Structure 1
Amino acid sequence: MRKIIKFLLFSLMVMLLLSGCNSNATDTNEDIFQYKNSFVGDNNAVGNIANQLPAAEYLNGFELKTSEEPYGIILNYDSLDSDQEYRETVIHNATFLFTLVQNVDWITFNSDIDEYTITKEQLEEWYGKELSEIQTENELRELIEENLEDTNKINHLF
């Protein structure tokens, strides 16, 4: 009888140890395209999008400008490493936000490096593509990567 109790206690301890190692926490990198067709007034959606984008660890808050059209978003960042990295972050993050948030017309990026305001119209002209037509994250990432390869093209936008 003692062997059975010891075995059961040992089994219980092993199960507790293994269940503690097996985390069922949801993936923090959710499918960002679940926010496709969000509105700029949806604080939760915009915040969740911004927190999944590059340099999210430097994001120091955001504001939604919805009192009158054109609607906009202001993203405040703590310092990034370089101006080039900051410009690439601006392009990447603006592309995602303009693709996912259907009624945002402009986005201002503030940091101690510089302040950039970019419009949806400017970015679509730069890409030569209407961002609302993009339906998958992979398609969007390919578009961004393809266009970030050319430093001269990046500098032309700014």
Structure 2
Amino acid sequence: MEVTSSVSASKMFKAFVLDGDNLIPKILPAAIKCVEIVQGDGGVGSVKLITFGEGTSQLKSMKHRIDGLDKENFTYSYTLIEGDALMNEIESITYHLKIVPSADGGSICKNRSIYHTKGDAQVTEEQIKAGKEKAIGVFKVVESYLQANPETYN
């Protein structure tokens, strides 16, 4: 999946990845109620509990583990290891995110998701599409926030 933005790669990475645990619940409280570190110091190997807002989703919470973080190259990897989103059919989902500068001064967010299913379970195109749409929606809300508040995350 690739999503373009008019916001620079460094600013988008700071907001979306480095401060996303604080920013996203602030600007999307109905979707994400809170994010808390339940294991580790917030770096690689840490586990985060994401609690979803009430009424916007049938999902309650999920846990993900940080697998990689490279602040200089704007890359972030994490694995969804527990929660409603796994639907008892998926063992885990690994995400690889990279935000690259674009020629116009904006950025391109590239995301690759790897689904690890239980047994012979299959992930449908509809499930993948729904996940992509939610991720793009959050990314675009962060982009709108940064456009409306250009002095932040410099």
Q: TM-score range by the shorter chain?
A: 0.3 to 0.5
Query: Which structure exhibits the higher relative contact order, with contacts defined as CA atoms closer than 8 Å and separated by 6 or more residues?
Result: 2
Question: TM-score normalised to the size of structure 2?
Answer: 0.34
Instruction: Please say which structure displays the higher CA radius of gyration.
Output: 1
| Structure with greater helix share of residues | 1
